[in-house]
């Protein structure tokens, strides 16, 4: 299943990269940008990023549940991932607004 139509990235490819990051450091903050960078790709329209966040959270949660990580720690990690994405989206939105104001 294609998740990113700009880069033709599949669900399986994203899951594989996220699992690799978790194997390196199970508590690291994984973002769509980090996943795409590892694939030598970059977000173009970034419309897929909300889905990529959901995939990252699902893979990280499954990974930690398999290791019997306490649920409170899993929730903390997934909230941290979601907040980082929201912060990035907010900064992108502000940058777009600033750019369009400069062009006007």
Chain residues binding ligand FES by CB under 6 A are 4-7, 43-48
User: Alpha-carbon distance 26 to 57, whole Å?
Assistant: 12
Complex with ligand FES: residue 1 or 45, whichever CB lies closer: 45
Complex with ligand FES: residue 6 or 19, whichever CB lies closer: 6
CB of 88 to ligand FES, least distance (A): 14
For 81, residues 6+ apart whose C-beta sits below 8 A from its C-beta are 29, 30, 31, 53, 56, 57, 60
Complex with ligand FES: residue 5 or 93, whichever CB lies closer: 5
């Amino acid at each position: 299943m294609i998740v990113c139509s700009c880069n033709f990235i599949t669900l399986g490819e994203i899951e594989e990269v996220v699992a690799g990051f978790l194997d390196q450091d199970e508590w690291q903050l994984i973002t769509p940008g980090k996943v795409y960078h590892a694939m030598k790709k970059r977000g173009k329209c970034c419309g897929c990023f909300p889905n990529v966040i959901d995939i990252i959270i699902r893979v990280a949660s499954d990974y930690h549940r398999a290791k019997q990580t306490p649920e409170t720690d899993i929730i903390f990690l997934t909230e941290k991932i979601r907040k980082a994405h929201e912060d990035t989206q907010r900064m992108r939105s502000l940058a777009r607004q600033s750019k369009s104001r400069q062009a006007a």
